[in-house]
Amino acid sequence: MSDKKDIKSMPFELLTTELAERGYPKFRASQLYRWMHKDLVDSYEEMTNLPKKMKEELQTAYDFTKIRMIDRQISQLDGTQKFLFAMPDNSLVESVFMKYKFGNSVCISSQVGCRMGCRFCASTLDGLSRNLLPAEMLEQIYAIHRITGEKISHVVVMGTGEPLDNYDNLVTFLHMLTDENGQNLSMRNITVSTCGIVPRIYDLAKEDLSITLALSLHAPTDEKRRQIMPIAETYSIRELMDACRYYFDTTGRRITFEYSLIANVNDTEEEARDLWTLAKSVGAHINLIPVNPVKERGYQQPQMTAVRAFKEKLEKQGINVSIRRVLGRDIDGACGQLRHRHLTEDGSVD
Ligand code: SF4
């Protein structure tokens, strides 16, 4: 990575200040921001209303993040598209485009790799390389829009990486994605998923954003959670629930518990009971995810009948439960698998 600041990672106010220091009026910042974040051009040449001298100056002074598509898989079953992108330093990152009745959604990555070590997850198999810049997160959405021609209405930060482990860049990204000078996405259409970094949940609550926070819970007891998620060694479920309650009380936004059902690991009667007790205690909605098989971990996907039975047990207790649709079953399924396959096959990109 170069030492220069990245111009596409600057929120509008910062861009305005930077340009003012170079003697440019505010309307130039508006024009530039619009080209980058609304019109989604990926070169200065296309910014036809900016003076040539200004473009040359900016080109020399700043980095301008561009990403390249390396692979694209399209599901023949449901139209889900999985993308592998190379960042400017050739780091590989996955993103997914999904069509729903309510609109088009993109799932983006927030880090190159991940250091959280969740046992059911392929994204962490190669460890963490680095954090993604705000522009590198934005560009995954922009590139998918450019490639598919489809408008993106919803964004989930649930791909590779732990978003709260890249906190400052995540918050900048959220502000930029919802900026009225750019994509102007509604905060309510954005979901951020965390494995549960407790102090950061408190920080996020104080940011006053109306995003949805999804907590990857996956087990309702400390003992079981520690077996599948190393983060549970640091924060207990009690601490997590206190943070969730604070988040809900501060933002008024209901938390979602993500619960990957793993056959014979976390799907007993007792676990269903413990799970609904936790959900009731913080008023959470539960999203059940039939786990994608990860060959390296030996995890099996449960039968759909078992998933439905688990759901009914929770619903009988008045809990709001959904089952995540398994999309793109015919393409490299689990998050991180496409990237992992490219890394293990080759280890580099040209
Ligand atoms: S589930 Fe999320 S936090 Fe856990 S290892 Fe995978 S990417 Fe990281």
Strands 92-100 and 190-194, by their bridges, are unpaired
Cβ of 255 below 6 Å from ligand 1: no
Mutate to test the pocket of ligand 1, among 109, 160, 195, 287 (most ligand atoms within 8 A of CB): 195
Q: Ligand 1: distance of its center to the CA of 159 in Å?
A: 8
- Token pair listed for 175: 């502000």
Q: Helix, strand or coil for residue 248?
A: helix
Residue 216 Cα, ligand 1 centroid: separation in angstroms? 9
Distances (CA, A) of 93 to 52, 71, 231, 303: 33, 10, 23, 30
The domain locations on the chain are: 7-61, 68-346
Task: Report whether residue 160 contacts ligand 1, using a CB cutoff of 6 Å.
Answer: yes
How do beta strands 128-131 and 111-113 pair? antiparallel
**CB-ligand 1 contact for 190 (6 Å cutoff):** no
Angle at which helices 304-315 and 269-282 cross, to 10°: 50
Q: Considering the candidates 107, 195, 244, 335, report the single residue annotated as catalytic.
A: 335
Asked whether this chain's domains 7-61 and 68-346 adopt the same fold, the reply is no
Contact 319, 286 (CB under 8 A): yes
Catalytic option among 18, 57, 94, 270: 94
pLDDT by residue, tens only, the chain of 350 residues: 678 999 999 999 999 999 999 999 999 999 999 999 999 998 999 999 999 999 999 999 999 999 999 999 999 988 899 999 999 999 999 999 999 889 999 999 999 999 999 988 888 888 999 999 999 999 999 999 999 999 999 999 999 999 999 999 999 999 999 999 999 999 999 999 999 999 999 999 999 899 999 999 999 999 999 999 999 999 999 999 999 999 999 999 999 999 988 878 888 889 999 999 999 999 999 999 887 766 666 677 778 888 899 999 999 999 999 998 777 767 765 566 667 666 655 433 33
- Catalytic residue at 107? no
What separation, in Å, do the N-terminal and C-terminal C-alpha atoms of the chain show? Answer: 17
pTM for the full model?
0.93
pLDDT of residue 348: 37
- The single residue listed with the structure tokens 């059911």 is 120
Q: Which residues contact 192 (CB under 8 A, 6 or more apart)?
A: 156, 157, 158, 163, 164, 170, 174, 204, 211, 212, 213, 214
Q: What share of the chain is helix, strand, coil (3-state, %, to 5)?
A: 40, 20, 40
The three-state secondary structure class of 231 is helix
pLDDT computed for residue 349 by the predictor: 37
Strands 103-108 and 154-157, bridge-based pairing: parallel
* Rounded Cα gap, residues 130 and 161, in angstroms: 9
Q: Are 98 and 41 in contact (CB under 8 A)?
A: no
Question: Of ligand 1's atoms, which has the minimum distance to the CA of residue 194?
Answer: 3
114 counts as catalytic: no
Class of domain 68-346: alpha beta
> Cα 173 to chain center, whole Å?
11
**CA nearest neighbour of 9 among 183, 132, 165, 145:** 132
Angstrom distance (rounded) from CA 235 to CA 222 = 9
Q: Helix count (H) and strand count (E) of the chain?
A: 11, 12
The CATH fold of domain 7-61: DNA polymerase; domain 1 (1.10.150)
| DSSP strands (E only) in 18-91 | 68-74, 81-86
Nearest CA owner, ligand 1 atom 4 = 118
DSSP symbols for 161-176? S-GGGGHHHHHHHHHH
Give kind and range of the element (H or E) at residue 135. helix 134-148
Ligand 1 within 6 A of CB of 141: no
- What whole-number distance in Å separates Cα of residue 142 and Cα of residue 40? 6
C-beta of 126 in contact with ligand 1 (< 6 A): no
Length of the chain (residues) = 350
- Closest ligand 1 atom to Cα of 114: 8
Residue to probe by mutation, ligand 1, list 162, 170, 218, 289, most atoms within 8 Å of CB: 162
Q: Residue 215: CB within 6 Å of ligand 1? A: no
Tokens 């979602």, located at residue: 256
77-96 as b/e: b if 16+ CB within 10 A: eeebbbbbbbbbeebbbbbb
